[in-house]
Amino acid sequence: MPSTPMTAEPLLSVRGLGVRFRLPQAEVTAVDGVDFDLARGEVLGIVGESGSGKSQILFALMGLLAANGGASGEARFGGRNLVGLAEGELDRVRGSDISIVFQDPMTALNPFMRIGDQLAEGLIVHRGATRRSAWAEAVAMLDRVGIPDPAARARAYPHQFSGGMRQRVMIAMALLMRPAILLADEPTTALDVTIQAQVLDLIAELARDSGTAVILVTHDLGVVARACDRVMVLYGGQVMEAADVDTLFAEPRHPYTQGLLAAMPRLGGETAPRLGTIPGSPGSDAAPGCPFAPRCDRRLPRCTVERPALVDRPPRRIACHLEAADAAS
Amino acid sequence: MLRFIGRRVWDGGLTLAALVTLTFFVMRLAPGGPFSKSRKISPEILANIQKTYHLDEPVWMQFGRYVKGLVTFDLGPSTRFRDYTVGDMISAGLPWSVTIGIWAIIVATLIGVALGVAGAMRRNSAADYVAGIVGVVGVAVPIFVIGPLLQSVFALRLGWVPVGGIGAGWRALVLPILVLALPNVAYISRLTRSSMIETLRENYVRTARAKGVGAARMVRRHVLKGTLLPVIAYLGPATAAIITGSILIETIFALPGIGRHFVDAALNRDYPLVMGITLLYGALLIVLNIATDLIRAWIDPRLRNGR
Ligand SMILES: Nc1ncnc2c1ncn2[C@@H]1O[C@H](COP(=O)(O)OP(=O)(O)OP(=O)(O)O)[C@@H](O)[C@H]1O
Ligand SMILES: [Mg+2]
């Protein structure tokens, strides 16, 4: 159970989070100056197109960056800074207080291990459970995420499961630990639409019941509308705009957010709306200005030379020079 | 699983049958016979000898006789060493070859896997460099160089072990086993290292880290199996090769193993002995391949339903 008492103090407080990768010739910045807070029981959505750094934010929090990557900044959780925490210390937090559902369910499970053992492992390692009792809990959780005949399926191996089933196993594995924070990286991408809704509801239910806070990474604004309380829009590794879901959908202020919403077919439509295509692609991080400037149709001269700061404009936070221009006029 | 085993054994049997047929006819179709060119023998004696060895019968009858002998484990007399049967010669030589072969593989696997794992876990550490050096030496320096080198140091200079022969019990086998193991230490350590580095990059290993299982449990429960699969695939054929391919070692260290008989037999057109040893090698390879497949299937559930 989370050690943080229920106060105004956020469960997780992230400041100036950065992720950089060393490449043979150069260094690339995948995440730059990301700030956010996460309260108990809250569901925070992170949206942004492919390559915008969504997954790397989650990996940085878990100490799971690739060997050529490094994180900077601060992520306060339970009195510790998760960034730069030693592996041994991290292992006490990972899988116990914070769990993660990975993006790719096909390769995230160990092919040599029974599903039940993979689920039970966390309980055995962190809670000192016996294999027997852990296995029983694992079967119960498989049942909850909608795996038919869970007692038999727990004895099976990952290759005997479809992609959607594996994703549910991953979700069961994460939920089983009743973590304080659940990091879910596109948890519903591999699922068909009806199951998607079920799984999202399950995650939301868990957040409500056990006070688990969720960071939900997605391409899908429909998922955001359905499951999230707040949402953070990412572009080129930087936060463009962040607000509660209602504000963001009703009154998007950042040109990128506006573009996203405009490209979205229709709220509440039957087909799951995906992030629409906005012309261009995330710019190179060597450029000094706003990462979105090259694709922005309301670009000011300073946008390409000066990076806009992320400022508080209640009820939102936004990083855009237009805000300052509007305020001045 | 049972069906899988049955299938593998059946396939192995078929391969062996094909091998029996092939070796028999290749031997008979090759020009010259065991007695054709040695000394001048009078026609009567030649006919007599040929009768003794049934060389006067039509080939298909010889084949039938041969298969019948095989089934009853009677491989007939050696044509070169007339007082011995092929069975005698194999059972005299095989234990030596198997003993040094098995020990060499065990030594090579233990050292190779340990070096490989250490290298993969601590890349560019001292262990990694040692493994690298062993790797280069083991592969690049041939047995007939390393063997005499070790003999001159450990046998002649230090006198810890005999130069060769079998007079000194287990001591006599230390050097041959080490020399035989060395190239395999090299290969197995490199194989283990690269396989483990690859496995450490797998998404499911990241999942294990995300579960906070700790480094020791992660390696034991999540990394080792994936790492060892290719190593095990290599060990089956390598064991067969090491047992059958120890001719050079047996010569350098004057061991009465089966490899030397094989060369003698081939040079002397000793049909029964050549065929006996060929079949032995073939059977060994088949059995070891089946064993390898079974162990791999035991480790990897994805291999169980297959083929
Ligand atoms: N090991 C690495 N070395 C170099 N660059 C990397 C590495 N891993 C990720 N990146 C880069 O970091 C950036 C952000 O990647 P990230 O995986 O966070 O994207 P994402 O927003 O999750 O995208 P997607 O929606 O496709 O999952 C990408 O441009 C990617 O190329
Ligand atoms: Mg991603």
Q: Identify the pLDDT of residue B20.
A: 85
Q: Is B43 on the interface with A (CB under 8 A)?
A: no
Q: Is the pLDDT of residue A325 over 80?
A: no
Q: Is B224 on the interface with A (CB under 8 A)?
A: no
Q: Is residue A107 part of a domain?
A: no
Considering chain A, what percentage of its residues have pLDDT values greater than 90?
A: 64
Q: Identify the pLDDT of residue A1.
A: 44
As separate numbers, helices (DSSP H) first and strands (DSSP E) second, chain B gives: 13, 0
Q: Is residue A327 part of a domain?
A: yes
The count of domains in chain A is: 1
| Contact at CB, B212 and A90, closer than 8 angstroms | yes
Select from B11, B43, B177, B16 the least CA-distant residue to B105. Answer: B177
Position A329 confidence tier, pLDDT thresholds 50, 70, 90:
low
**Nearest CB to B203; choose among A90, A93, A108:** A108
* Phi and psi at residue A105, to the nearest 5°: -70, -20
CA dihedral sign of residues B44, B45, B46, B51: positive
Q: Identify the pLDDT of residue B306.
A: 54
Q: Which residues of B touch A157 (CB under 8 A)?
A: 301-302
Give residues (CB < 6 A) around ligand 1. Answer: A 21, 23, 28, 30, 48, 50-56, 66, 68-69, 103
Which one of A89, A112, A160 would you mutate to disrupt binding with B, by most B Cβ within 10 Å of its Cβ?
Answer: A112
Report the separation in Å between the CA atom of A283 and the middle of ligand 1, taken as the mean of its atom positions: 14
Position A274 confidence tier, pLDDT thresholds 50, 70, 90:
very low
CA separation for the pair B172, A195 (Å, rounded): 69
Report the separation in Å between the CA atom of A56 and the middle of ligand 1, taken as the mean of its atom positions: 6
Q: Is the pLDDT of residue B204 over 80?
A: yes
Q: Identify the pLDDT of residue A46.
A: 96
Q: Is the pLDDT of residue A121 over 70?
A: yes
- pLDDT, one tens digit per residue, over B54-68 is 777 787 888 888 888
Report the separation in Å between the CA atom of A252 and the middle of ligand 2, taken as the mean of its atom positions: 24
A-contacting residues in B 225-254 (Cβ below 8 Å)? 225-226
pLDDT, average across residues B152-166: 82
Q: Identify the pLDDT of residue A2.
A: 44
> What residues form DSSP beta bridges with A34?
A17
CA separation for the pair A283, A292 (Å, rounded): 7
Q: Is the pLDDT of residue B75 over 90?
A: no
Q: Which atom of ligand 1 is nearest the CA belonging to A103?
A: 27
pLDDT, average across residues A263-283: 52
CA distance to partner chain B, nearest, from residue A91 (Å)? 4
Q: Identify the pLDDT of residue A270.
A: 45
Task: Judge if the upstream peptide bond of residue A315 is cis by omega within 30 degrees of 0.
Answer: yes
Q: Identify the pLDDT of residue A112.
A: 96
Q: Is the pLDDT of residue B269 over 90?
A: no
Q: Identify the pLDDT of residue A5.
A: 45
The tokens describing A21, both together, are 């990768």
Q: Is residue A191 part of a domain?
A: no
Q: Identify the pLDDT of residue A287.
A: 66
Which one of B124, B195, B207 would you mutate to disrupt binding with A, by most A Cβ within 10 Å of its Cβ?
Answer: B207
Q: Identify the pLDDT of residue A273.
A: 43
Q: Identify the pLDDT of residue B232.
A: 95
Query: In chain B, whose CA is at the least distance from the CA of A160?
Result: B302
Q: Which residues of B touch A102 (CB under 8 A)?
A: 203, 206-207, 210
Domain boundaries along the sequence of chain B: 93-268
CB B54 within 8 A of CB B65: yes
> In the A/B pair of chains, how many CB contacts fall below 8 A?
74
Q: Is B198 on the interface with A (CB under 8 A)?
A: no
Higher-pLDDT residue of B24, A100: A100
The ligand minimizing its distance to the Cα of A70 is 1
The ligand minimizing its distance to the Cα of A57 is 1
pLDDT, average across residues B193-218: 94
Residue closest via CA to ligand 1's atom 3 equals: A21
The tokens describing A202, both together, are 């399950």
Q: Identify the pLDDT of residue A272.
A: 43
| Contact at CB, B221 and A64, closer than 8 angstroms | no
Report the separation in Å between the CA atom of A237 and the middle of ligand 1, taken as the mean of its atom positions: 9
pLDDT, average across residues A278-301: 74
| Contact at CB, B211 and A112, closer than 8 angstroms | no
Q: Identify the pLDDT of residue B137.
A: 83
Q: Is the pLDDT of residue A3 over 50?
A: no
Report the separation in Å between the CA atom of B7 and the middle of ligand 1, taken as the mean of its atom positions: 46
pLDDT, average across residues A36-41: 93
Higher-pLDDT residue of A135, B270: A135
Q: Identify the pLDDT of residue B123.
A: 82
Highest mean pLDDT among A7-11, A130-134, A284-288: A130-134
| Contact at CB, A111 and B213, closer than 8 angstroms | no
Neighbours of A325 (CB within 10 A): 12
Q: Identify the pLDDT of residue A196.
A: 81
- The range of the structural domain enclosing residue A281 comes to 238-265+276-329
| Contact at CB, B210 and A99, closer than 8 angstroms | yes
**Which residues sit with Cβ closer than 5 angstroms to ligand 2, an ion?**
A 55, 103
pLDDT, average across residues A83-112: 93
The ligand minimizing its distance to the Cα of A234 is 1
Report the separation in Å between the CA atom of A233 and the middle of ligand 2, taken as the mean of its atom positions: 14
Q: How far is CA B66 from CA A17, B16, B71, B272, B281, in A?
A: 79, 14, 9, 9, 17
Q: Is residue A256 part of a domain?
A: yes
| Contact at CB, A107 and B213, closer than 8 angstroms | no
Report the separation in Å between the CA atom of B82 and the middle of ligand 2, taken as the mean of its atom positions: 76
Per the prediction, chain A carries an average pLDDT of: 87
Tell me the pTM.
0.84
Higher-pLDDT residue of A285, B119: B119
Q: Tell me which of A13-17, A63-67, B75-79 is least confident.
A: B75-79
Please name the residues in contact with A271: beta carbons below 8 A apart, sequence gap of 6 or more: A265
Q: What is the dihedral of CA A293, A295, A298, A303, to 10 degrees?
A: 10
pLDDT, average across residues B68-94: 79
DSSP code, position A113: S
Q: Identify the pLDDT of residue A247.
A: 95
Position B36 confidence tier, pLDDT thresholds 50, 70, 90:
low
Q: Identify the pLDDT of residue B207.
A: 96
Higher-pLDDT residue of B234, B7: B234
Q: Is B215 on the interface with A (CB under 8 A)?
A: yes
Give domain B93-268's CATH architecture: Orthogonal Bundle (1.10)
Q: Is the pLDDT of residue A278 over 60?
A: no
Q: Identify the pLDDT of residue A4.
A: 42
Residue closest via CA to ligand 1's atom 18 equals: A53
Q: Is the pLDDT of residue A208 over 90?
A: no
Q: Is the pLDDT of residue A304 over 80?
A: yes
| Contact at CB, B206 and A91, closer than 8 angstroms | no
Which one of A56, A85, A97, A110 would you mutate to disrupt binding with B, by most B Cβ within 10 Å of its Cβ?
Answer: A110
